[in-house]
Chain A
Amino acid sequence: MKVAVCVKAVPDTVAGRRIDAATRRLDRRGELALSAFDLHAVEEALVLAEGHDEVEVVIVSLGPPAAADALRKTLAMGADRSVLVSDERFEGADLLVSAAALAGALRREQPDLVLFGQQSPDGEGACLWAAVAEALRLPLISQVAALVLEGPGVSGRRQTEFGYEQISAPLPAVVAVSDAINQPRYPSLKGIMGAKNKPQAVLSAADVGGAGTSRTTVLALAAPPARGERRIVRDDEGTAAAAIAAFLVERRLL
């Protein structure tokens, strides 16, 4: 059985994210880190692999060449190999172009199960898994908080606006997991050393069926209505509680 996990490397939030005024795109230079939400999908794949014989876990991603470093973390966690679709032609890709690129990479892999995390922290959209499922014409279960392999299929429990649902689907299927599903592991030292020898493939646009044209455009950027100053304090010397109390007094909340 093969499980593919779709992940995204995104600009590190510590450095602060910005949109380039000239290209009107997210500035993706600098350090990239794996989306924390995607780690839950990676963890779930590893849990499935541990519970069943002969499960291969392949990480699939679309991003700049530097994303390969971020993908290595998933290999250190225990994934078997990674496939990065990376091509200048994907810069500024919208949902349709991104979904087609990932679907192209997944067609080459023919996985039994495709996992996604619950959102991407930069695009903030929770649209990609449904678009990929449609492109591959595979059944979809999203927002899954508990997942089991059941005979020839998969069954997921999820929460919607109206309560809980149990949804099943035959394999191959696409499943998007929520952050409630597990606690992602930290890579062990052995895992980190071992990751260096695991295969990391890079695919071009041509390898995944070409790069389409975005169907959405960014027309203009504007500053948002001010929310006021944001402050960050570190509780280095145990003074944070007092800092919060002072802040509440200042805002007349205490």
Chain B
Amino acid sequence: MKTLVFLEHHGQAISKASLGVLSKAAGLGGETAAILAGADLAGLAAQAGSFGAGTVFLAEDPRLAAALPQPRVDVLAGLVAGEAFDTVLFAQSVLATDLAAALAVRLDAGLNWDLVDLELREGTLVGRRPALSDSVRIDVGWSSPVRLALFRAGAFDPVESDARAELRELHVELDERSLRAELREAAAEEPSGPSIEDADVIVAGGRGLGGPEGFALLEELAEALGGAVAATRAVVDAGWYPYPTQVGQTGKTVSPRLYLAVGISGAIQHKVGMQGSGVIVAINKDPNAPIFEYADLGVVGDLNEIVPRLAALVRDARA
């Protein structure tokens, strides 16, 4: 087995999830290498070298400054073919998902995603994936010479070792067609304000609230329960509630004892940020909402009636 792990970075930090995948890959044996692709890798190469990779490939080019997938497909496709890698692994993210899917097509390589584990079973590579809102667990395999996999963020913890990888700079060749999508502007959002990550109880609101004024209901309920208020990406994007309160793939990952989802449909993007919660209660008027598939208690009804009534009941119970 000859494995390549894509290390994702932002600024001068390598994603912990991708280092976790690298450590996992190194533990499976065979040859393990990692690839960093960006415009300024000087400070990153050293960080990458001590998580189990024998070699860290560096693709440094100003055209790789933006975190866009298509130029990276060119880099990885060339490297996989040139070095005869048979396995390429990624930690799931906005960038890595697009990159892995496109690379699968370029290399005619099978891609299994949302994996939580990977093992060699009598020489055969087997991935493990929860499916149908985690109601079933599936063992998956590959029938192509090159095997690609995306892992859930946080599937593995990075394990640091004393070993140092050999660093190898790559000559970067990019197809003009891969450079047509261009980053025009990026605005970093710095986390600020009250932290939802430490809250025992979270009352979260989504598009079903109907507008920013709907959050007043949630704030009242959260206060009664002694919890914090969180939001989905859809309402943060719409400007109804601030970004630091966002739960989901591109927001925060939370695991409170109680997660009360109000007017939230339950997209995967949201689910990955809260599926570790102790007890999940969902209120939604749409009986088809995916959130009901992983809520311990699902309530189909009008949140405008239920939430104030529940807040009053909670206050009474605590009084």
Contact = CB atoms under 8 A, between A and B. Distances in A.
A119 B270 CA distance: 12
B260 to A, nearest CB: 8
A135 B181 contact: no
Contacts, number: 287
Nearest to A137: B177
Interface in A170-228: 170, 173, 178-180, 183, 213-224, 227-228
A248 B186 CA distance: 43
Interface size on A, as a range, is 35 or more
A150 to B, nearest CB: 10
B215 to A, nearest CB: 16
Interface in A124-177: 124-131, 133-135, 137, 139-143, 145, 155, 159-170, 173
A162 B110 CA distance: 29
A243 B283 CA distance: 12
Contacts of A244: 281, 283, 297, 299, 306, 310
Interface string B158-187: 000000000000000000010011111111
Given A125-B114, A140-B69, A180-B237, 5 more contacts: A96-B104, A165-B187, A168-B181, A234-B300, A247-B296
Given A12-B288, A179-B234, A216 B140 contact: yes
A236 B299 CA distance: 10
B135 to A, nearest CB: 6
Nearest to B309: A241
Given A125-B113, A131-B104, A224 B267 contact: no
16 contacts: A19-B136, A37-B267, A124-B114, A134-B105, A139-B177, A140-B69, A141-B181, A159-B250, A164-B187, A169-B180, A169-B182, A217-B142, A230-B294, A231-B297, A235-B299, A253-B201
A193 to B, nearest CB: 25
Nearest to B100: A127
Contact of B250 (A161, A173, A224, A234): A161
Contacts of B69: 130, 140
Contacts of A241: 305-307, 309-310, 312-313
A173 B181 contact: yes
B317 to A, nearest CB: 6
A79 to B, nearest CB: 21
A129 to B, nearest CB: 8
A121 B294 CA distance: 13
Interface stretch (B39-47, B57-65, B89-97): B89-97
Chain B's interface: helix, strand, loop or mixed, by majority? mixed
A233 interface: yes
Chain A's interface: helix, strand, loop or mixed, by majority? mixed
B1 to A, nearest CB: 17
A240 interface: yes
A66 B55 CA distance: 51
Interface string B287-319: 110101111111111100111011011100110
Most buried by B among A155, A164, A221, A228: A164
B258 to A, nearest CB: 5
A161 B279 CA distance: 26
Interface of B: 10, 66-70, 73, 93-95, 97-106, 108-114, 126, 130-144, 150, 177, 180-189, 201, 207, 225, 233-238, 249-250, 257-258, 265, 267-269, 279, 281, 283, 287-288, 290, 292-302, 305-307, 309-310, 312-314, 317-318
Contact of B187 (A130, A133, A141, A163): A163
Given A131-B101, A159-B233, A220 B139 contact: yes
A180 B233 contact: yes
A22 interface: no
B184 A13 contact: no
B189 A162 contact: yes
Contact of B234 (A142, A178, A223): A178
Contacts of B185: 165-166
A185 B268 CA distance: 23
A129 B138 CA distance: 24
A180 B317 contact: no
B10 A214 contact: no
A109 to B, nearest CB: 19
